[in-house]
Amino acid sequence: MKHLIDPMDISIDELESLFKLAEEIIKNEDDFNNICSHKILATLFYEPSTRTRFSFEAAMLRLGGQVIGFSEPGSSSVMKGESIPDTIRTVGSYVDIIAMRHPKEGAPRYASYYSQVPIINAGDGGHQHPTQTLTDLLTIKRTKGQISNLTMGLCGDLKFGRTVHSLIKAMSRYENIKFILISPQELQIPEYIKMEILNKKNIPFIEVERLEDVIDKLDILYMTRVQKERFFNEADYIRLKDSYILDKEKLKLARKDLSILHPLPRVNEISYEVDEDPRACYFDQVEYGMFIRMALITKLLGVM
Amino acid sequence: MKHLIDPMDISIDELESLFKLAEEIIKNEDDFNNICSHKILATLFYEPSTRTRFSFEAAMLRLGGQVIGFSEPGSSSVMKGESIPDTIRTVGSYVDIIAMRHPKEGAPRYASYYSQVPIINAGDGGHQHPTQTLTDLLTIKRTKGQISNLTMGLCGDLKFGRTVHSLIKAMSRYENIKFILISPQELQIPEYIKMEILNKKNIPFIEVERLEDVIDKLDILYMTRVQKERFFNEADYIRLKDSYILDKEKLKLARKDLSILHPLPRVNEISYEVDEDPRACYFDQVEYGMFIRMALITKLLGVM
Amino acid sequence: MKHLIDPMDISIDELESLFKLAEEIIKNEDDFNNICSHKILATLFYEPSTRTRFSFEAAMLRLGGQVIGFSEPGSSSVMKGESIPDTIRTVGSYVDIIAMRHPKEGAPRYASYYSQVPIINAGDGGHQHPTQTLTDLLTIKRTKGQISNLTMGLCGDLKFGRTVHSLIKAMSRYENIKFILISPQELQIPEYIKMEILNKKNIPFIEVERLEDVIDKLDILYMTRVQKERFFNEADYIRLKDSYILDKEKLKLARKDLSILHPLPRVNEISYEVDEDPRACYFDQVEYGMFIRMALITKLLGVM
């Protein structure tokens, strides 16, 4: 592993070794807090994403490293005038590793061809966001003890959510996974994922419209937002909208050992009252996001 | 003390202990330059304030800590989309302490209810700016040797200046303080401060219009800006404006041991010629601002 | 040397000592990676220049120091409201050294009069950019082994390029330098440089229109961009534009030991195919830019 561009670039073995390292860091963080000293991360954010940027920067600082970068239109416009290869070769002279966020699909891959230092894709348009997928997988592993033998519900906008697509692809490599896909009809998972991933690998899945009908069957519930604008007609929206809001009432139907995940930020799809429920894992997920980035940076820099 | 939201949240004893620590840091800065190593401060500036941000960041770096943050509309807008509780819980997973500047009154207080790490109010609209008040008090203590038995002049716009209101409240807890309030009539100190603070505690004060009439009586002169737009009529402005500009001429009337303070930035209310006068303390005040923030961060993190 | 405002402020001896230090850092970087610990650099960029800012920040971090700063309109506008002397005295209370970029000619010089800490001019309008000149000189020294006995071609817009003017002035202090000035007639080097520098010091130079006519004579080729808008008429532009693009074809005519420099960013004036040629030095130049800034910061802080 030299760069991380697509979550599927990593083999299951590399994933395991990454999770193991993340868990070591969680257990003994102090042992790692100088491991990247004198190393520099560049955060090249051609579009703003404060959460993701903070997660990378905190990860690097907690490893004893340092950070330079840009995150706002003003600065990045300067760099936009020049080609990505030139920018990457320049920045690669200054730093040891680069996290790149770009509105254009494929930009981080293209950058990696010219880079003398590791590139991490920190999100490229609607395409990939591999460290989010790693975060999701580590959260599942930590809360369920394994990433296999699980019934996973994915709820909300399953058509446009890149997070959900990447997660299904990643989970499909593990054993005995069942998916319950909960969405309005117009926001169902794309055909190509059913054909090329689920059917091809004989992974069982069902598609339903209402969360309350299936919540009692789930080990994991992965919530995402449903935007009103995505619905074809107002009537459907009014009929269904409450089905995609997780609240105390619906949670009463769920198992005691359910794990609720959400990539955040949320709007209203999880009620605040749910935050206090021990099954809510989405703030732990935020922390795991930082720890998996710490593990990833450590691996890519080859300092362990 | 878990957070610092309002300067009046701190007891006199806590203040004393904070000043003592600040003075130790001033004396032996090298002893403190690793005390926050492996700790991270987040500067969440929902409105820009470069001076205040720099003061916090320099404070944290000089203690051996690290900083992440945002300071410009581009980045902060991203965070604005989500609720303050969600942002605070997320950022609190990454860092050890947060300095928050927000255009809305009460935002830092609200944030503190949801925060697992200490929150410092770095200014919330026209409301509070407690680290400025701490800065002012430390400057008085350092230049006068004590915060009692003092005649303090406050000059300029006393109606809208939050700095001045907070300082009066804070000083009113010390012994034998007299205030001389120097302002045009339309910019006098609000009634509630006279009623609820000064009269209630029997603190002597007079209100005058012209600085030159009282400057000889002052131990401390706290200057603030008077904006033309605040005056009711042009004639008043023309008649009075020079009274709120401190220059060499007026300083001739003042005591030899006067201390001149100003929260900065200034426009023209203190002439540049005054900068060379030994009674000018406003650049020392800038430095004390950083030292008191160093002390505050150290206390809130519990590293001493 | 207390500040660096104009490249001609530095004596030849100081330059030599700076280059020597830069070469020591290149050779034994690890020996220097804590030399500025507990020191802070402020990058005050009143106009964005991400490349230059990154180079300064990486330089400081690699020396073990820390950085605060602003780089975008939002933050800097706050500081613009106050005078440069007040800003400099404030920031100088927080940090140990300042790199200042400003759209107004002379702003860094003016700042240096009021600064208690060293100021480095990181570019002031169309005027000076001394660390670029130092970068160019170090690159020449490293690639040719000396800064004397050289025939140097400068190609492109020689009229408006401050980089080129500064470099000619700086090189004119070394022995046995010949210049070949390659530009369209409307973009020739200004008269005052010919009169006051080249003629005055009896430095031989010729002016030509086409790169291909002289490339075989050059030890160094310093490329810059030619903007279409600078031409007086379309016909000239069409006739000449290809003469200012360096490609493999023209390089066939050049010496084997030519060194190609460019201050970057480039647009199309050097074809990408040239990047692989061993004579292309412009990415090494980027690295030398960081190393010379490391040496400069070290010297100005007096830590060696």
CATH code of the domain containing B19: 3.40.50.1370
B50: containing domain: 7-128+286-301
Kindly report, residue by residue over B91-102, the tens digit of the pLDDT. 999 999 999 999
Same domain, C33 and C69: yes
Same domain, C192 and C172: yes
Which of B58, B67, B266 is facing C86, going by the closest CB pair?
B266
How many angstroms separate the CA atoms of A255 and C105, rounded? 69
pLDDT of B218 over the 90 cut: yes
Residue that the structure tokens 């100081």 belong to: C14
What percent of chain B has a predicted confidence (pLDDT) above 90? 83
| Mean pLDDT for all residues in chain A | 94
What percent of chain C has a predicted confidence (pLDDT) above 70? 97
Q: Residue A144 has what pLDDT?
A: 97
Token pair of B17 as six digits: 């202990």
ipTM of the predicted assembly exceeds 0.90: yes
Crossing angle of helices C130-144/C162-171, nearest 10°? 50
Q: Residue B88 has what pLDDT?
A: 96
Token pair of B116 as six digits: 């697992």
The residue ranking higher by pLDDT, B156 or C238, is: B156
Average pLDDT estimate for A276-281: 97
In chain B, whose CA is at the least distance from the CA of C41? B58
How many angstroms separate the CA atoms of A65 and A92, rounded? 16
pLDDT of A261 over the 80 cut: yes
Same domain, C90 and C201: no
Q: Residue A259 has what pLDDT?
A: 98
B172 found inside a domain: yes
Given CB atoms, is A34 within the 8 Å cutoff of chain C?
no
pLDDT of B112 over the 90 cut: yes
> Chain C partners of B283 at a C-beta cutoff of 8 Å?
89-90, 93
Task: Spell out the residues 6+ positions from residue A41 whose beta carbon is closer than 8 angstroms to its own.
Answer: A56, A57, A60, A65, A66, A67, A68, A69, A95, A96, A97, A98, A99, A297
Same domain, B142 and B223: yes
A124 found inside a domain: yes
Q: Residue A257 has what pLDDT?
A: 97
C2 found inside a domain: no
Token pair of A288 as six digits: 């795991």
pLDDT of C135 over the 80 cut: yes
Going by pLDDT thresholds of 50, 70 and 90, the confidence category of residue B217 is very high
C12 found inside a domain: yes
pLDDT of A78 over the 70 cut: no
How many angstroms separate the CA atoms of A50 and B70, rounded? 8
How many angstroms separate the CA atoms of A282 and A263, rounded? 7
Which of C49, C264, C272 is facing A78, going by the closest CB pair?
C49
pLDDT of C129 over the 90 cut: yes
Given CB atoms, is A95 within the 8 Å cutoff of chain C?
yes
From the CA of B49, how many Å to the nearest CA of chain C?
7
C50/A75 CB distance under 8 A: yes
Q: Residue A197 has what pLDDT?
A: 96
Percent helix, strand, coil in chain C, to 5, is 50, 15, 35
A42 found inside a domain: yes
Q: Which of A3, A39, A101, A165 is the catalytic position?
A: A101
Touching B (3+ Cβ pairs <8 A), the chains are A, C
Going by pLDDT thresholds of 50, 70 and 90, the confidence category of residue C80 is low
Which of B77, B82, B94 is facing A54, going by the closest CB pair?
B94
Same domain, C239 and C291: no
Report how many domains make up chain C. Answer: 2
Going by pLDDT thresholds of 50, 70 and 90, the confidence category of residue B73 is low
Kindly report, residue by residue over B245-286, the tens digit of the pLDDT. 999 999 999 999 999 999 999 988 999 999 999 999 999 999
Is B54:C88 a contact under the CB 8 Å cutoff? no
How many angstroms separate the CA atoms of A15 and A1, rounded? 11
Kindly report, residue by residue over C185-228, the tens digit of the pLDDT. 889 999 999 999 999 999 999 999 999 999 999 999 999 988 77
Token pair of B141 as six digits: 């203590």
Q: Catalytic annotation on A255?
A: no
Going by pLDDT thresholds of 50, 70 and 90, the confidence category of residue A77 is low
Nearest to A21 by CA among A13, A283, A37: A13
From the CA of B115, how many Å to the nearest CA of chain C?
26
Kindly report, residue by residue over C263-291, the tens digit of the pLDDT. 999 988 999 999 999 999 999 999 999 99
pLDDT of A162 over the 80 cut: yes
How many angstroms separate the CA atoms of B155 and B209, rounded? 9
> Chain A partners of C72 at a C-beta cutoff of 8 Å?
72, 74-75
Q: Residue C43 has what pLDDT?
A: 97
Backbone angles phi, psi at B293, to 5 degrees: -70, -35
Q: Residue B225 has what pLDDT?
A: 87
What percent of chain C has a predicted confidence (pLDDT) above 90? 83
Touching A (3+ Cβ pairs <8 A), the chains are B, C
A265/B81 CB distance under 8 A: yes
> Annotated active-site positions of B, please?
51-52, 80, 101, 129
Kindly report, residue by residue over B187-209, the tens digit of the pLDDT. 999 999 999 999 999 999 999 99
Torsion angle of C-alpha atoms C16, C17, C23, C27, degrees rounded to 10: 150
C86/B61 CB distance under 8 A: no
Same domain, B88 and B221: no
Kindly report, residue by residue over B34-48, the tens digit of the pLDDT. 999 999 999 999 988
Same domain, B140 and B106: no
Given CB atoms, is B49 within the 8 Å cutoff of chain C?
yes
Kindly report, residue by residue over A99-137, the tens digit of the pLDDT. 999 989 999 999 999 999 999 999 998 778 999 999 999
Same domain, B115 and B172: no
B75/A272 CB distance under 8 A: no
In chain C, whose CA is at the least distance from the CA of B33? C38
A51/B90 CB distance under 8 A: yes
Q: Residue C267 has what pLDDT?
A: 86
In chain A, whose CA is at the least distance from the CA of C50? A75
**H runs (alpha helix) in chain C:** 12-27, 50-62, 73-80, 84-94, 107-114, 130-144, 162-171, 191-193, 234-240, 248-251, 282-301
**Angle in degrees, CA B291, B295, B297, rounded to 5:** 115
Given CB atoms, is B66 within the 8 Å cutoff of chain A?
yes
Same domain, A219 and A230: yes
C75/B48 CB distance under 8 A: yes
Which of B61, B71, B267 is facing C75, going by the closest CB pair?
B71
Q: Residue B78 has what pLDDT?
A: 60
Average pLDDT estimate for A80-94: 91
Going by pLDDT thresholds of 50, 70 and 90, the confidence category of residue C76 is low
Q: Catalytic annotation on A51?
A: yes
Average pLDDT estimate for B239-248: 87
Same domain, C224 and C296: no
Q: Residue A291 has what pLDDT?
A: 98
pLDDT of C44 over the 80 cut: yes
Q: Residue A73 has what pLDDT?
A: 59
C78/B50 CB distance under 8 A: yes
Given CB atoms, is C47 within the 8 Å cutoff of chain A?
no
Given CB atoms, is C40 within the 8 Å cutoff of chain B?
yes
Query: Binding site membership of A: which residues?
Result: 51-52, 80, 101, 129, 132, 162, 225, 264-265
Q: Residue A125 has what pLDDT?
A: 84
Largest distance between two CA atoms of chain B: 59
B2 found inside a domain: no
Nearest to B130 by CA among B9, B297, B290, B288: B9
Kindly report, residue by residue over A46-71, the tens digit of the pLDDT. 988 999 999 999 999 999 999 999 98
Going by pLDDT thresholds of 50, 70 and 90, the confidence category of residue A143 is very high
Residue that the structure tokens 């086409």 belong to: C210
CB crowding C249-272: b at 16 or more within 10 Å, else e:
ebbeebeeebbbbbbbbbeebbee
List, in sequence order, every residue forming a beta bridge with A66; answer none if it has no partner. A40
Same domain, A144 and A255: yes
Kindly report, residue by residue over C145-182, the tens digit of the pLDDT. 999 999 999 999 999 888 999 999 999 999 999 999 99
A1 found inside a domain: no
B94/A266 CB distance under 8 A: no
Same domain, B81 and B151: no
| Mean pLDDT for all residues in chain C | 94
C1 found inside a domain: no
